[in-house]
Amino acid sequence: MSRISKAFFTALWFMLLTLPVMGIKLNLMENRVDWRLDRVLYLGVAAFFLSMLWTWLFSRKKRNLPLIKAPAFIKIDFYGLSANRAVRRGFFASLILGLIAVPLLASFYQTNIMISAMLYIMLALGLNIVVGLAGQLVLGYVAFYAVGAYAYGLLHQYFGFGFWICLPVGGILAALFGLGLGFPVLRLRGDYLAIVTLGFGEIARLAMLNWTSLTGGPRGISDIPRPGFFGIPLNINEATIYIYYLALIAVCLTVVVVLRLKNSRVGLALQAVREDEIASEAMGIDITRAKLSAFALGSCWAGFAGVIFAAKTTFINPASFTFMESAMILSMVVLGGMGSISGVIIAAVILIMAPEYLRAFSEYRMLIFGAIMVLMMIFRPQGLVSGEKRDYQVSALARKEADAQ
């Protein structure tokens, strides 16, 4: 009962709270106020049920129960299956085959969307190295993406360099920018770091905007060529399919590198830094090197993605590299689970595909992104797929704990 009355009062509170913004619509043309109390009422009803849900979720969280339990009739043991090598290989083989077949089966448009999704997968995985593995919250990640895109745009415009030269150059330049940013911010704590990187991202965008003689300012750079196929010029459809395969290869490469990195010495050092900076320093980890390599690696992928992005759209301007873009990539990492590769991929695909295919969703997209970031932090900070932390069990200690209970 108390739960219901609590929900009731919460609903009342929210109705009161949203009364001006939701309820009043000024019609200045006719000098009239339209009261839209129905909307406030709907919101109250929604708040009532959400409040019930909220309390329920909280009570489960407090008791350490899983938030949602799979119904009993689903008997497939996913974890067992995923541990099975043959099943896993079969799954990945069919996934890759499926992805290779996409441009052959799907329309031009769907191929295009898939390219966007893959670019975001690259970006999210890159950011995941910095945020997920090393625990350094970077809010200006889009700046590195811009470095890649502008590297291609400018090198082509001034020197006529092609895609294949610019791809590594863009990546390396972005990595250098990452290092350049990494050095001064090494000793900053988490939240200060976040703000400094946000400032860096904004400065990068403002520089692109104001340095008109170099970057074209707000007008941007147009006519960036799509990659040619060993000197054979392609028409747009062919080029799109070609870029699709390039992006696919790039994504696979990213996944492989990030996977290897995660379990490498550097990767483990990064995760140690994430968990406890001081302890890991005491254990002899060179924090400077670990952090800098995370910055360099993370921004390098953004650079690659930027070059491919420029090649895909053939036109770039500073408007594509705003803070909201950084926030979107970050919400992919958060939703997917910091440090988890499969989770981040799934999240990136969901967040890019959903607005494209659900028109109704598209308008509420940013609202939902915001809500997701808040809710994930509260109820499932580990993300959709929890980052598979390595668990070591010291048997004697485990026994002792068992005895104590």
Q: How many residues sit in the footprint of another protein (CB under 8 A)?
A: 96
Binding segment (CB under 8 A) for another protein, from list 169-177, 205-213, 286-294, 296-304: 205-213
Instruction: Give dist(CA 186, CA 296) in Å, integer.
Output: 13
Question: Minimum CB separation from another protein for residue 68, in Å?
Answer: 18
Residue 188 interacts with another protein (CB under 8 A): yes or no: yes
Considering only residues 263 through 302, tell me which ones interact with another protein, judged by CB under 8 A: 278
Among 12, 378, 397, 398, binds another protein (CB under 8 A): 378
Residue 91 interacts with another protein (CB under 8 A): yes or no: no
Among 370, 398, 399, 400, binds another protein (CB under 8 A): 370
Q: Which residues contact 172 (CB under 8 A, 6 or more apart)?
A: 300, 303
Among 89, 219, 260, 289, binds another protein (CB under 8 A): 219
Contact 344, 153 (CB under 8 A): no
Residue 353 interacts with another protein (CB under 8 A): yes or no: no
User: Which lies closer to another protein via its Cβ, residue 128 or residue 317?
Assistant: 317
What letter represents residue 219's amino acid?
Answer: R
SS3 280: helix
User: Which lies closer to another protein via its Cβ, residue 169 or residue 188?
Assistant: 188
Which of these, 122, 125, 80, lies nearest to 336 by C-alpha position?
125
Instruction: Give dist(CA 186, CA 294) in Å, integer.
Output: 11
For the chain, report the end-to-end CA distance as a whole number of angstroms: 35
Considering only residues 7 through 36, tell me which ones interact with another protein, judged by CB under 8 A: 13-14, 16-18, 20-22, 24-26, 28-29, 31-33
Structure tokens at 44: 């109250």
Binding segment (CB under 8 A) for another protein, from list 77-85, 187-195, 248-256, 386-394: 187-195
Among 42, 91, 92, 109, binds another protein (CB under 8 A): 109
Among 41, 60, 116, 162, binds another protein (CB under 8 A): 116
Residue 342 interacts with another protein (CB under 8 A): yes or no: no
User: Which lies closer to another protein via its Cβ, residue 28 or residue 74?
Assistant: 28
- ∠ CA(281), CA(286), CA(290), 5° rounding? 110
Q: Which residues contact 126 (CB under 8 A, 6 or more apart)?
A: 141, 144, 254, 297, 298, 299, 300, 301, 302, 305
Structure tokens at 362: 């598209």
Binding segment (CB under 8 A) for another protein, from list 1-9, 162-170, 190-198, 252-260: 190-198
Among 6, 162, 292, 314, binds another protein (CB under 8 A): 314
Among 108, 214, 264, 388, binds another protein (CB under 8 A): 108
Question: Minimum CB separation from another protein for residue 55, in Å?
Answer: 12
Q: What are the CA-CA distances from residue 243 to residues 235, 248, 250, 305 (Å)?
A: 12, 8, 10, 12
Binding mask 36-65 for another protein (x = CB under 8 A): ---x------------------x-------
Residue reference for tokens 């392609």: 234
Cβ neighbourhood burial of 310 (10 Å; 0-12, 13-18, 19+) = buried
Residue 157 interacts with another protein (CB under 8 A): yes or no: no
Residue 176 interacts with another protein (CB under 8 A): yes or no: no
Question: Minimum CB separation from another protein for residue 97, in Å?
Answer: 13
Instruction: Give dist(CA 207, CA 202) in Å, integer.
Output: 8
Contact 265, 282 (CB under 8 A): no
Binding segment (CB under 8 A) for another protein, from list 86-94, 165-173, 233-241, 300-308: 233-241
Residue reference for tokens 């939701």: 22
